[in-house]
Chains A and B, each alone.
Chain A
Amino acid sequence: MRIVSCLLRMIALATLLALQPGAAAAQSADEAFTRLGADSFSDTNRAIELLIANAHPQAAPIIEALAAGRLLAGGGAVVIKTTDGKFLDARTGAALPAESPGLAPVRLNNGVRRNIQAALGGLGLLNPDAGKRIAAAEAVFKSRDVALLPVLEGAIAKETDARAKAALRQAQAAILVAKPDAPPFDRIAAIDVLRERGDQDALATLRSLPADSSPALKEAQSRAVSAIEGKLAVWRAGQNLWYGLSLGSVLLLAAIGLAITFGVMGVINMAHGEMVMLGAYTTFIVQEIIRTRFPGLFDYSLLIAVPLAFMVAGLVGIAIERGVIRFLYGRPLETLLATWGISLILQQAVRTAFGPTNREVGAPNFMSGAFEIGQLAITWNRLWIIVFAGLVFAALLAILKLTPIGLQMRAVTQNRRMASAMGIRTGRVDALTFGLGSGVAGLAGVALSQIDNVSPNLGQSYIIDSFMVVVFGGVGNLWGTLISAMTLGVANKLLEPYAGAVLGKIALLVFIILFIQKRPRGLFALKGRAVEA
């Protein structure tokens, strides 16, 4: 606290000596307290200005108390009431024995509140924590409060942290650029600073220049605007690409199980979406149990849900295969109908058990929030889903390439009859494949519970998209599914800004319908006589 007040005082001196006669300082501080006591809005505003301009050591607690309605005044005294009910002398910060009579809170209106916000911004500029200083500089950048200019300049002179210094300079530039009486040279230099910053806020600041600016300024402004716009367009494309990859990873998760069952067994599982839904509801149940019994484990709820969702969906999948699909062997179209029937039953079962409305699945700490890289806003949940999709994909590749059951699956994919002749129990392979595909759908459900509504219709909304991924990518090659999912995801998001979400989706559906004419077996198809037979 002492350091801060020292700092404040020094900065105030450094900045104010140039502007005002030194003797005025103490007097102005006194005036501030008088004005606070007067309790009129205009006096309060002036008092705030004076406190800031003088860098009064008690400025921060006073203004904070004022903002919270804990600043009391009356009978010439100004008192801070602390949150725990003690009373302090606003001027010195010394504790007072008891509440003096005749004190009333200093009143606020919106104008005063605005000034308080600006003032707090100015105070933050002098905070010892560099992160806080940057945040304060950002606030000033947005408010463009001319009154803070001297404080800013003082802060810049003192600043040692490079990032904080840049932020302060940008805030200063934002104010200068719009200040008609600033030296023209300074204003043009400020434009350069803003151009370097190059984000949406800088663009907005530049665009809001007063109309009466000089031609030189205007030219610099328009050049800076177009430079920023160009840069922003690139960032926007990057952002869309990111959204696309995120959508692609969701599609990948939803479709890859389908691709495996379709590849190995040649059947379309219309209940695949419901496996996703079961995974999401498993997550919901896990969280409910954790919430009521072991609240401390909440951050691990998804980790616990992952194996459970895989097992629940996988077991239901195996049950479907053994109970229904097995009897429809070699009749893919009937399988499609029967699994559709199963999907209706599962949906209705979940609707009966959990109700038709959306269920709330919470996000653990590591999944919430966002961070920025340049102009890219990246949310943690999307990032983790991409990572998760990558892990699931790698695990599936490993299972198919490295394990005996994977070898058998690949054999059955390529030539079922031959595989059977080699002694592979195709029935068992089918059941395991179906279980694996459904289990992966369950994993997708865990991920989707973080970004979508968990309702009985969850699966329905993904099933057609998943089909499109499988059909586009081709059968029997997981890489095809990966590329297909990412391509469709990115294409979807890149189309959206131009065509709108619905038209973009229609365009993609039409594209796939046409694509399948050209390559009826997808991007990466097996070739040869065995396939055509």
Chain B
Amino acid sequence: MNAPNPGALTSSLLYLDGVSVSFDGFKAIRGLSLTIEPGEMRAIIGPNGAGKTTMMDIITGKTKPDVGTVMFGGSVDLTKLDEAAIANLGIGRKFQKPTVFDFHTIEDNILLALKAPRSVARTLFWQTAAAQAKRIDDILGIIKLGDARDRLAGSLSHGQKQWLEIGMLLAQDPKLLLVDEPAAGMTDGETAETAVLLKAIAKDHSVIVVEHDMGFIRELGVKVTVLHEGSVLAEGPLDVVSANERVVEVYLGR
């Protein structure tokens, strides 16, 4: 129902069309179509099992779709690439459950994410240049972990880990950020700060945010896509979408 416009392919940053995938007969995604423009920030909502995480898995190469088109930047077929190649194209991902490297310091976590050559040889003989050190300092400042840079990431609180992960996304400097439930497990204050941070990031990046927290979505104030049973149910500003009869039905139950 939300088929992309003709010509959307070339102008879009991310283009999904007719994507389906099933696990042991269960169709997690059915005929999903979605377009993200360069510089756009998009919020994705949907009840549990709507296919939000699976969609992210498809975009980042963790899961291969059975059918459908997944294009990046108008010309790169993501279904043909693996996770590392997709990450190097400029797609960064923050996981639902914050995943940082527990046995590395916070600084090293950022260093590992920092946009730089990823080859074996280049990492073996790596020397951090002054500009890169400064970039790490900046990011640590943004995520408010500058004082804790030598602490092991495993010793951080849940909210701090969420922020560290966002910091790692920043260090990666991707063209498109996939952010899965950034506000989960955060206090109200932290949630509000996270929204501000994401909005700042969205100024020069495309962002897809998956979130349950409606307050958070409202704060972001961006176009919303509602997923249900693996396909797009509605799309538009939050107010319009939340007035949609079918969306209400899906969320509240018949």
Are any A and B Cβ atoms less than 8 Å apart in their complex?
Answer: yes
A529 to B52 CA separation, bound complex (whole angstroms): 13
A532 to B24 CA separation, bound complex (whole angstroms): 13
The answer, among B24, B57, B62, for a CB contact under 8 Å with A527, is B24
- Asked if B132 is at the interface of the complex by the 8 Å CB criterion, the answer is no
The number of inter-chain residue pairs (CB within 8 angstroms) is 11
CB distance from A527 to the nearest CB of B (A): 5
A165 to B134 CA separation, bound complex (whole angstroms): 102
- Asked if B242 is at the interface of the complex by the 8 Å CB criterion, the answer is no
CB distance from B27 to the nearest CB of A (A): 12
Contacts of B26 in A (CB 8 A): 528
CB distance from A179 to the nearest CB of B (A): 72
CB distance from A281 to the nearest CB of B (A): 43
CB distance from A524 to the nearest CB of B (A): 12
- Asked if B23 is at the interface of the complex by the 8 Å CB criterion, the answer is yes
- Asked if B54 is at the interface of the complex by the 8 Å CB criterion, the answer is yes
B54 touches A529 (CB 8 A): yes
Contacts of B24 in A (CB 8 A): 527-528
CB distance from B28 to the nearest CB of A (A): 8
Closest to A530 in B: B23
Closest to B26 in A: A528
A532 to B63 CA separation, bound complex (whole angstroms): 10
Contacts of A528 in B (CB 8 A): 23-24, 26
Contacts of B28 in A (CB 8 A): 529
Which residues of B, 48-64, contact A by the 8 Å Cβ criterion? 53-54, 57, 62
Task: Mark B142-166 against chain A: 1 for CB-CB distance below 8 A, else 0.
Answer: 0000000000000000000000000
CB distance from A410 to the nearest CB of B (A): 15
Which residues of B, 20-53, contact A by the 8 Å Cβ criterion? 23-24, 26, 28, 53
Closest to B23 in A: A528
CB distance from A74 to the nearest CB of B (A): 93
CB distance from A22 to the nearest CB of B (A): 89
Contacts of B62 in A (CB 8 A): 532
- What number of B residues sit within 8 Å (CB to CB) of A? 8
A529 to B26 CA separation, bound complex (whole angstroms): 11
Task: Mark A493-533 against chain B: 1 for CB-CB distance below 8 A, else 0.
Answer: 00000000000000000000000000000000001110010
A528 to B25 CA separation, bound complex (whole angstroms): 10
Task: Mark B1-30 against chain A: 1 for CB-CB distance below 8 A, else 0.
Answer: 000000000000000000000011010100
A528 to B24 CA separation, bound complex (whole angstroms): 7
CB distance from B114 to the nearest CB of A (A): 28
CB distance from B193 to the nearest CB of A (A): 29
Most buried by A among B23, B53, B54, B62: B23
Contacts of B53 in A (CB 8 A): 529
Closest to B28 in A: A529
CB distance from A39 to the nearest CB of B (A): 89
CB distance from A8 to the nearest CB of B (A): 77
Contacts of A527 in B (CB 8 A): 23-24
A488 to B26 CA separation, bound complex (whole angstroms): 33
CB distance from B98 to the nearest CB of A (A): 15
CB distance from B170 to the nearest CB of A (A): 26
A529 to B23 CA separation, bound complex (whole angstroms): 8
A532 to B61 CA separation, bound complex (whole angstroms): 13
CB distance from A103 to the nearest CB of B (A): 91
Closest to B53 in A: A529
Contacts of A532 in B (CB 8 A): 62
Which residues of A, 335-355, contact B by the 8 Å Cβ criterion? none
A529 to B28 CA separation, bound complex (whole angstroms): 10
CB distance from B12 to the nearest CB of A (A): 27
A327 to B53 CA separation, bound complex (whole angstroms): 33
A527 to B24 CA separation, bound complex (whole angstroms): 7
Closest to B62 in A: A532
CB distance from B224 to the nearest CB of A (A): 25
Contacts of A529 in B (CB 8 A): 23, 28, 53-54, 57
Contacts of B54 in A (CB 8 A): 529
A529 to B54 CA separation, bound complex (whole angstroms): 9
Closest to A532 in B: B62
Which residues of B, 150-186, contact A by the 8 Å Cβ criterion? none
CB distance from B254 to the nearest CB of A (A): 26
A529 to B63 CA separation, bound complex (whole angstroms): 9
A532 to B28 CA separation, bound complex (whole angstroms): 15
Which residues of B, 209-235, contact A by the 8 Å Cβ criterion? none
What would be 11 A-B contacts, judged by CB atoms less than 8 Å apart? A527-B23, A527-B24, A528-B23, A528-B24, A528-B26, A529-B23, A529-B28, A529-B53, A529-B54, A529-B57, A532-B62
Binding site for B on A (CB under 8 A): 527-529, 532
Across the A-B interface, the 4 shortest Cβ-Cβ residue pairs: A528-B23, A527-B24, A528-B24, A527-B23
Q: With A528-B23, A528-B24 given, name 9 new contacts (CB 8 A).
A: A527-B23, A527-B24, A528-B26, A529-B23, A529-B28, A529-B53, A529-B54, A529-B57, A532-B62
